[in-house]
Structure 1
Amino acid sequence: MGKLTAKCIVAGDSSVGKSTLVQLFSSNGSHFLKNYSMTTGIDVVMKTVQIPDTGDSIELFLCDSPGKAVFSDMTEMQWDQPGCFCLVFDVTNEASFSSCTKWLQKVRSKTSSAQLPAVLVGNKTDLSDRRAVDKLEAQEWAVRHGLVYFETSAKDLENYELPFQSLAKSFYHMYQERVENFKSLV
C-alpha cells in the first residue's frame, strides 16, 4: 500500500495544550512551546507515522485549531472530511472537559463517515495537585462517545506521541477494512 494521507483535526478549548502536543509530536519531543501564543487560524503540521509490522505509513496532517469561539466560523470551514480527530482538554479545568461534547459535535458534523477514528486527550497531568477531572470520568465519557482515552503531560514529555500513533493505526485499519469490503463487492 505504501503511504496514506489523513487530515487530523486537533480541537478543544483555548490553553489546553493542543499546539504544544502537536509541536512535540511533529518534532519527536524536541520542541516544547515555553512561550505561548494563541492560535488564531488553523496551523497545519505534517508528520509521517510508520504502521508497525507493515511497510506502510500514514502522513498525518495535524490541523491545530484555535479554541476561542471568535475564530470558530473561520476555522470550521477547514474541517471538512477529516480522516481522524484529536480532542484535547486540560485535566485541571472542568470547563474544558465539559466543552468536549460541543467540540465533538462540531467535528462529527463535518464528516460523512460514521466511523471517524478519534481520541480524547486529558493533558497537563503534571499538575496532579490541581486536577479537577477524574480519570475514570474522562475514560467513561470517551467510551460512551466512541473515543480512545489518553492522558498526557506535554510539559513532562509523557505520552504526547501515543494519541497520534493510535489515530494513525486506527485510520490505517479502517482503510484496510474499506479496501477488503470493496474487494468483496467485485
Structure 2
Amino acid sequence: MLPGDPAVGKSALAQMFRSDGAHFQRNYTLTAGIELLVKAVSVPETSDSVEFFIFDSAGKDLFSEMLEKLWEQPNVLCLVYDVTNEQSFNNCNKWLEKLRAQAVGVHIPGVLVGNKTDLADRRVVEQEQAQEWAEKHGLEYCEMSVKEMKNFEAPFHILAKLFHQLYKEKVETFHSLA
C-alpha cells in the first residue's frame, strides 16, 4: 500500500520506481482514484526477488472505502509524507490507524518515507522527529527527493527485505507444523 495525503509525491515515487528512474514527470495531474503498478524487486543481500503490486491512491478521504477493500490483505506498507508539510506528517497517524483497523491483530511491516528533501529551505518536519515517530510505530524510515532522483529506490528495497523476511517466517511456521 502507498497511502499518504494528496500531493506528497506518492504517484511520482511510484512512477519513478516503475520506470527505474528514467524520468520525473514535471507536469503532473493528481491521481484520480487508485492505480496499480506491478514490478519485480531484488531482495537486498539475497539472490531472491519479490513482485510488488503497488496500490497508489489519491490521498482524498473520498477514496477511503476503495482503499479499505484493498487493505483487507496488505503485506507491506509505504507511508509517504512531505517534509515541507507538517499536516501531511501529522496525518500519518490517520493513515496508519485506518490500515491497522482493517488488519486487526496482524503485523504489517513498512516504511515511513519523507519526500521532497530537495526543498531544504522549506523543511518543517525534522528527520529526527520522523525517525522517532516511525520507530514508535514499528516502521523503518527513509528520506528522498523524487524530483532530484535521490534515494527513490530505498523504500522499495526496504519493503522487499521486510516482505522477504515475513515470507521466510511463514514458511518456517508452515514447516514446523508439518
The question of a shared fold, defined as TM-score above 0.5 by the shorter chain, is answered with yes
For 1:90-109, list aligned pairs within 5 A: 90-109=82-101
| 1:169 and 2:161 matched | yes
| Conservation of the 8 A alpha-carbon contact between 2:44 and 2:157 | no
In structure 2, how many angstroms separate the alpha carbons of the residues matched to 1:112 and 1:43?
25
Percent identical: 53
Q: Tell me the amino acid that sits aligned with residue 38 of structure 1.
A: L
| Conservation of the 8 A alpha-carbon contact between 1:16 and 1:123 | yes
Any gaps of 5 or more consecutive residues in structure 1? 1-8
Deviations 1:58-106 (A, max 9, x none): 0001100110122222333222201111000000000000000000011
The runs of at least 4 aligned residues of structure 1 exceeding 3 Å deviation read 52-55
TM-score by length of 1: 0.91
Moved more, 52-61 or 174-183: 52-61
Tell me how far 1:159 sits from its aligned partner.
0.6
Tell me how far 1:35 sits from its aligned partner.
1.3
Number of the residue aligned with 1:38: 30
In structure 2, how many angstroms separate the alpha carbons of the residues matched to 1:113 and 1:24?
33
Any gaps of 5 or more consecutive residues in structure 2? none
RMSD, aligned α-carbons: 1.3
Q: Tell me the amino acid that sits aligned with residue 94 of structure 1.
A: E
Q: 2:79 aligns with which of 84, 87, 102?
A: 87
Work out the number of aligned pairs and report it.
Answer: 178
In structure 2, how many angstroms separate the alpha carbons of the residues matched to 1:40 and 1:143?
32
Q: Tell me the amino acid that sits aligned with residue 177 of structure 1.
A: E
In structure 1, how many angstroms separate the alpha carbons of the residues matched to 2:68 and 2:57?
9
TM-score by length of 2: 0.95
| Conservation of the 8 A alpha-carbon contact between 1:66 and 1:72 | no
| Conservation of the 8 A alpha-carbon contact between 2:4 and 2:81 | yes
SS in structure 2 opposite 1:122?
Answer: strand
Moved more, 93-102 or 174-183: 174-183
